[in-house]
Structure formats: structure tokens, C-alpha cells
Amino acid sequence: MLPNVLRPNATDHVPVLAEEVREALDVGPGDTVVDATFGAGGHAELLAADLRGDGKLIAIDRDPSARAYFDRFRKHTAVKGRFLRGEYSLVLEQLASNGVRADAVLFDLGVSSMQIDRPERGFSYAVDAPLDMRMDPGSEPTACELVNEASERELTRIFRDYGEERYARQIARAIGRRRRERPFERTGELVEAIRSAIPAPARFGEGHPAKRVFQALRIAVNDELGSLSTALPEALELLRPGGRLAVISFHSLEDRIVKRFLRSQEHGCTCPPDFPVCVCGHEPALRALSRRAIRPTRQEVAANPRAASARLRAAVKTDD
């Protein structure tokens, strides 16, 4: 039997923008669906239902604990399923190079409920736990190693670029002072260092004072933005003409990467404006399904506060 923290349960994860994802991907019987961020399988269960027992769902996740959720998923669906553990940009590349083609590819970015709700993983600033934050427990570095070994200049860059933290330099200096006395080991120690570096009025502003730093460290530890930038072209390669791509992001850094990628693939000729004829031969590869990101309704946010920052962008692959 799985321990309590690992035992899958249908209530463990509420998929955000569920109906909007189903509408965007428009999955039907016989389709091949790739869920690049399987997690607890919430979206996968809905998409499998749309396959109506005739189709295939390929699940990807770098977190080994996702396998238990996939095993539960297989027991409750008639579609063919396959679980591939690994970083999604690498797995998508391997699938495309092996000739696999998909009708729908979904990314649900950011940290999942099964990770943030398990204190020992070190993702949460609300509970004192080992300072880890790895989505793949076998990867490197941990957040602990990054906090203790990165220079103050590098920490400042991480907090500023990935967390949009206003007091990035002050926090990096506070971390430097603290680790010269003794190294960081736990999330609570980092939270206290962050609090000490932020002016008193700012500690009582919007959200927890450690929120942006923890986001920044998580992104850096897991190379989330680099993986996303690499994975989007691989997902496009994997799609059949007419296939659909959907990406749910939870902060502006991710959304900016997705938006720029979709716009770049919607354009045709990329030749300079003064060229009399097109010589690049570039054709649009995607067509966005909506001009703006789709946001959750007030009713969904009220029922699931974690959906508040979610943005969905979707597109269909044009004919070759």
C-alpha cells in the first residue's frame, strides 16, 4: 500500500481551466494525446473521457511520484496509456525523432499540488522542511545547494529575473551574511533571512514576503524557463497538421515565452520589408485559437484559489 502522502485520490488535484482545455484541444475518438506534465492526472482523465475508449494518451512527468497516479489512471480508462518519466523537452524530442505524431499536446506548467502539498519536498514557504524544490529528486542542484553556493550576484539575478523581487539585492546580501555563520538547510531558515532583509512595511504587503524568492529558486533549480523554451518547438514538431497545442502558465515569465512562441509561428514571410520578393519561404505553422490568454472564471477561482493566476493559450497547427 502506498503511504498516505503518495496514495492517489481523485480529490488530490483539481485541474484548472478544465473545460477550457477540453474545448481548446477538441480531442475525439482515435486521437493521440500527449500530456507533457501529467502530475496527478486531472486533465488526463478529462481528455481520456473525450477519447471514449478509442485512442492513446502518452503521459510525461519528471517526478517519479507521478507514476502512482498514472497507474490509477490506467485502471479507470479504456484508452491505451503510456508513462514516460523525464524532463518534457527531452521526452518530446525523443518521441518526435521516433516518428510519433500527436493530435493534441498539453502543458500545465509550474509546481503541482502533489509537490507543494508534500512538505518534505521543500516547495512551500508556509511549512518548515528540508530546502529542496526539485521536481525530479534525482537531479541537481537542490535549492539548498543553490542558496549556499551561488554568489550573491547570481542570487540577486535569480531573485530579480525569475521572481521579479524588488528587494533581490538586499535578500541576497542577507543570505550571504547568514550562510557565513552556518549554511542553510531548511525552508524556515530561508524565510527568516528573507524577512530580515525586507523593510517592515513591505512584509505586510500583498502575499507572503518569501513568495517571489521561492518561485525564483524553484524555477532556477528545475530550469523551468529553459525547458519550456526548448519544449515548445518540439511539441510543434510532434503535432500532426490540424493538431492542437494548449499551454497553461501561472506567471508572466512563462506566459511571455508561450505568447512569443505562438506569435513567431503565426507569421509567414520573415524577410526584411525592403525585399521585393520572399526568399525565406517561411510559412505560418500555427494559428492561435484566441488573441488573448483565457483566464479562469470568478466561480472557478472561488472554488479553487490556486487557479487565480492561470492563463491558457492554445493554437492549431496549420497544414504542411
Instruction: List, for residues 9-40, the tens digit of each pLDDT value.
Output: 434 568 999 999 999 999 999 999 999 999 99
Helix (H, G, I), strand (E, B) or coil at 312: strand
Compute the distance between CA of residue 224 and CA of residue 57 in angstroms, rounded to an integer: 23
- C-alpha 285/C-alpha 129 separation (Å) is 45
Cell of 292: 488573448
Q: Is 90 exceeded by the pLDDT of residue 81?
A: yes
Is residue 7 pLDDT above 50, yes or no? no
Q: How many CB atoms lie within 10 A of CB 15?
A: 22
Spatial separation of the C-alpha atoms in residues 268 and 271, rounded to whole Å: 9
Domains of the chain and any CATH numbers:
18-114+224-317 (3.40.50.150), 120-219 (1.10.150.170)
The string of pLDDT tens digits covering residues 114-139 is: 667 677 787 888 889 999 999 999 99
Instruction: Give me the phi and psi of 292, to 5 degrees please.
Output: -115, 155
307 compared with 274, residue with greater pLDDT = 307
Secondary structure letter of residue 280 according to DSSP? S
The torsion angle over the Cα atoms of residues 57, 62, 67 and 72, rounded to 10 degrees, is -50
Taking the CA atoms of the chain, what radius of gyration do you get in angstroms?
A: 21
Mean pLDDT value across residues 96-101: 96
Arithmetic mean of pLDDT, 196-200: 90
Q: Is the model's pTM score more than 0.85?
A: yes
The continuous run of DSSP H or E covering 88 comes out as helix 88-97
| Contact indicator for 249, 110 with CB cutoff of 8 Å | yes
Q: Which amino acid is at 42?
A: G
Cell numbers for 174, please give them: 542577507
Please enumerate in sequence order all residues whose Cβ is within 8 A of that of 137, keeping only pairs 6 or more positions apart, or say none: 63, 64
Nine-digit cell at 27? 480531442
Beta partners for 84? 60
Distance, in Å, from the CA atom of 41 to the CA atom of 108, rounded to the nearest integer, reads: 11
Q: What's the pLDDT score for residue 179?
A: 96
Using 50, 70 and 90 to split pLDDT, how confident is the model at 8?
A: very low
Please name the residue ranges forming H helices in 182-223.
187-197, 211-222
Residue range 255-280, pLDDT digits in tens: 999 999 999 999 876 677 777 777 77
Q: CB pairs under 8 A, 24+ apart, for 140-147?
A: 141/221, 142/221, 143/217, 143/218, 143/221, 144/183, 144/184, 144/185, 146/217, 146/220, 146/221, 147/175, 147/179, 147/184, 147/190, 147/217
Cell numbers found for residue 207 = 502575499
pLDDT of residue 114: 66
Contact 286, 262 (CB under 8 A): yes
